[in-house]
Copies of this chain bind each other. A is one copy, B any other.
Amino acid sequence: MWKVEFKTSHLKLKTLERPLILITNDDGYASKGIRELIKMVQPIGNVLVVAPAEGQSGKSHAVSIGSFVRMKKLQDDANLTIYSVTGTPVDCLKMALGNILTRKPDLLISGINHGSNSSVNAFYSGTMGAAREGAFNGIPSIGLSLCDYDADADFSVVIKHSEPMIKKVLSENKNPNLCLNVNFPKVTESEFKGLRICRQAQGVWKESFVENTDPYGGKIYWLTGNFENAEPNAADTDEWALSNNYAPVVPMNLDSTDFAELQNINYLI
């Protein structure tokens, strides 16, 4: 009943010699951000896109357990193949690596996200969930975001300044588990001050649900909230960089251990 054989399909990509670049996002394959990213990377390498069929914002590192996904091949040219998957961004990564590709990509780029993934947003973000999953699997991974939620946002500053960064990662990076969280401020080219290596700012989303009523009189609740930056004056943080027209580049950890706290909890034993 179950058919497990697979991995037959993607022969075009493996016969080519340029870098193989895997692309996903959390806004869905049809969003402007991923379309602009695809255009930018096509001259650099051969591109496989496996992206959600619909928007998957806020899906973090979620995977589909107890439910199935569907997949559709949307385009299959020599240098560009596009699939959509009705799952999360991390599902897309697992589909690309487990079912489509026969070799490891040289780079994963997740984005370009419509909206910020700085500070603790890195934990809620489907964009960064996919980037972390790539890095788990030994693929240097970059999450790219623009602090503009507009579906028709202007990505020209991101494109211009992330393209050389992507080339540098391809040529100079030695860390197979590299995971970069890169956010661009919503500024013009003349206002933009450049990339800046940063740490994640400490902060918290203060959130609650807004109550509404459905057409049948039932109560429904929509999540809303505001981000509170706990250290607005810390110039080594991503939030400070964004506020000052820089694009923060934060290397992301794949280990959830709080090593400092390890020393403090001996009273538990």
Contact = CB atoms under 8 A, between A and B. Distances in A.
Interface of A: 1-4, 6, 55, 57-66, 68-71, 90-91, 94-95, 97-99, 120, 122-124, 126, 128-129, 132, 136-137, 165, 168-169, 172, 175, 178-181, 194-197, 199-200, 202, 204-212, 218-223, 225, 249-259, 261-262, 264-269
Nearest to A93: B207
A212 B94 contact: no
9 contacts: A3-B212, A6-B211, A62-B62, A70-B218, A70-B221, A120-B254, A196-B269, A200-B256, A249-B268
A267 B166 CA distance: 12
Contacts of A2: 210-212
- In the complex, the count of this chain's copies comes to 2
Contacts of A268: 165, 168-169, 195, 197, 249
Contact of A124 (B61, B175, B196): B61
Nearest to A4: B210
Contacts of A257: 199-200, 250-253
- From DSSP, what is the main secondary structure of chain A's interface residues? mixed
Contacts of A225: 94, 98
Contacts of A69: 209, 220-221, 223
Contacts of A255: 199-200, 202, 253
Contacts of A222: 68
Contacts of A68: 212, 220-222
A95 B209 contact: yes
A216 to B, nearest CB: 12
A69 to B, nearest CB: 5
Nearest to A221: B69
Nearest to A194: B269
Contacts of A178: 261, 265
A-B pairs, top 10 by smallest CB distance, nearest first, are A98-B208, A251-B261, A58-B65, A60-B60, A60-B61, A68-B220, A251-B258, A253-B258, A199-B257, A60-B62
Contact of A211 (B3, B197, B258): B3
Nearest to A202: B255
A254 to B, nearest CB: 8
A241 to B, nearest CB: 12
Nearest to A204: B136
Contact of A71 (B63, B95, B204, B221): B221
Contacts of A199: 255, 257, 259, 262
